[in-house]
A and B are shown apart, each in its own frame.
Chain A
Amino acid sequence: MALAKRIIPCLDCDKGRVVKGVKFLDIRDAGDPVEIAKRYSDAGADEITFLDITASSEGRETTVKTVEAIASQVFIPLTVGGGIRTLEDIRTMLNAGADKVSINTAAVTNPEFVREAAQRFGSQCIVVAVDAKKVSAEGEADRWEIFTHGGRKSTGLDAIDWVRRMVDYGAGEILLTSMDRDGTKIGFDLALNRAVSEAVDVPVIASGGVGNLQHLVDGVLEGGADAVLAASIFHFGEFSIPQAKQFMAEQGITMRLDIN
């Protein structure tokens, strides 16, 4: 009887369509985020993260409609990220039915934005997404820096100092992605996860590198994660959410198993 660790499937969307491929065998339209979000929710996902990678402003209007449609049918928490730069962007997404917004680049370019956002809307809905990459050499003490632009651009910011600062400014949760592991399927960067989790009081979501169910377990038990985010292992039907939850529970992790 304790707080459960969370599994969060992530949908990457462009102009209202899920990209990066979703290959459920029995789904009518594999690109429809509403249908996919509903499917994950029915399967026992604890939250949904919707990451908007749309570049154009017309496309973003589609995103708002999609968020509205998901929020009308899926009654679990919904986080929306991608292109959140102004207080108005946050208001738009919360009004559309998002429970939290995830701020990434805008936090780096203007850290005060996080403070203003948390003051205006409350820390509970402000997630700061952090893309970190290891910069220490072999044999040196571990050190990670914050990167932007999909891991291509270094900011020179130390990852641990940065997350502490973001929480101090009012971030209610940290979404931590290892750019070294993203897409590799070799597991989370557990040392990074543990360092961040120990540095801050707020929950940390581990992301980047999941290839199998043991990786999810390691993220929680060794990385100290409060939640694990994954896309491809669920999208391609390699593993189902109930399977992942069962596996994690068998390793002694508290999970929400009975969703009825």
Chain B
Amino acid sequence: MNNVAVIDYGMGNLHSVAKAMESLCKDVRVDVTSDAGRILAADRIIFPGVGAIRDCMAEIRRLGIDTIVSEAVRQGKPVLAICVGMQALMDSSEENGHVDCLGLLPGTVKRFGGDQGLLDADGNRLKVPHMGWNCVQQRRSHPLWQGIADNSRFYFVHSYFVAPDDTSQVAGATEYGHEFAAALSKDSLFAVQFHPEKSQHSGLQLLNNFLHWNGTGSTN
């Protein structure tokens, strides 16, 4: 049995990611939980998140699960962070003024456009949130990209993006007004800004790769 814990801290739609994984593989058991013991007992961990980062971080701290992800990574357990889950891994976010995050990966979370607005290469104004299907350029080979063509489209919905200090951690990049990190990887941790559970075939392939990943093979 392949045991997956989806960290539940009361933020957002966890049904989809659980259902997506259950649709992929018969012997998967998904446990949606905020219990630290159950999370660390799983074979692999999904760290999701939607909504405002301040509320997310407050709930993570209230539930006492702010050290879970780093502990799991220390144990070499595969961890997949999604959307605000990815942003929460960074040092801090400029959303809601300034919010201190988990600090697992060096870098910050910034807003698209700022006061000047966001423009494409032809000078056209771009909408924020960045919402819809955009291409992800794979920056290096990784077990989670297996079977997914380079530049495949994934579904994004976010107004803030991750700016990592260490660009060698960028596993995938996307262009929206400027380039930003669509995927980061470090050891047994993989983080994506897009929603694999909503990205049809490419997203399901990534989740399937995650279900079969042993946490190694990252090339950095």
Classify the secondary structure of A's interface with B.
loop
Chain A residues 1-44 with CB under 8 Å of chain B are 1-6, 41
Q: Which A residue sits closest to B175, measured CB to CB? A: A1
Of B15-23, B34-42, B183-191, the segment with at least 4 beta carbons within 8 Å of chain A is B15-23
Chain B residues 162-220 with CB under 8 Å of chain A are 175-176, 195, 197-204
| A121-B51 contact in complex given A6-B133, A203-B127, C-beta closer than 8 Å | yes
Q: Which B residue sits closest to A76, measured CB to CB? A: B200
Tell me if B64 is interfacial: C-beta within 8 Å of chain A: no
List residues of chain A with CB within 8 A of the CB of B198: 75-77, 99
Chain B residues 1-54 with CB under 8 Å of chain A are 12-13, 15-16, 19-20, 23, 50-52
Chain A interface extent, by class: 35 or more
- A72 contacts B201, C-beta separation under 8 Å: no
- A46 contacts B16, C-beta separation under 8 Å: no
List residues of chain A with CB within 8 A of the CB of B175: 1-2
CA distance A119 to B96 in the complex (A): 11
CA distance A6 to B197 in the complex (A): 18
- A97 contacts B19, C-beta separation under 8 Å: yes
User: Closest CB of chain A to B104's CB: distance in Å?
Assistant: 22
Chain A residues 220-238 with CB under 8 Å of chain B are 226-227
- A97 contacts B132, C-beta separation under 8 Å: no
Counting chain A CB atoms within 10 Å of each CB, the highest count among B126, B127, B199 belongs to B127
- B157 contacts A97, C-beta separation under 8 Å: no
Partner of B204, one of A68, A75, A204: A75
B-contact 0/1 string along A64-91, CB 8 Å cutoff: 0000100111011100000000000000
Size of the chain B interface, CB-CB below 8 angstroms: 44
Partner of A226, one of B131, B158, B159, B199: B131
CA distance A40 to B175 in the complex (A): 28
CA distance A238 to B113 in the complex (A): 40
Tell me if B135 is interfacial: C-beta within 8 Å of chain A: yes
Tell me if A96 is interfacial: C-beta within 8 Å of chain B: yes
Chain B residues 44-81 with CB under 8 Å of chain A are 50-52
- A172 contacts B20, C-beta separation under 8 Å: no
Q: Which B residue sits closest to A46, measured CB to CB? A: B133
CA distance A95 to B12 in the complex (A): 8
Of A122-130, A135-143, A177-185, the segment with at least 4 beta carbons within 8 Å of chain B is A122-130
List residues of chain A with CB within 8 A of the CB of B13: 94-95, 97-99, 125
List residues of chain A with CB within 8 A of the CB of B133: 3-4, 6, 46, 256
User: Closest CB of chain B to A256's CB: distance in Å?
Assistant: 4
Q: Can you report 24 A-B residue pairs in the complex whose CB atoms are below 8 A from each other?
A: A2-B175, A3-B156, A3-B176, A46-B133, A71-B16, A75-B20, A75-B204, A77-B155, A97-B15, A97-B19, A119-B52, A122-B51, A124-B50, A124-B129, A124-B131, A124-B159, A125-B50, A201-B127, A202-B127, A202-B128, A256-B153, A258-B153, A259-B200, A260-B201
Which residues of B does A touch, CB under 8 Å?
12-13, 15-16, 19-20, 23, 50-52, 113, 117, 120, 126-135, 137, 149, 151-153, 155-159, 175-176, 195, 197-204
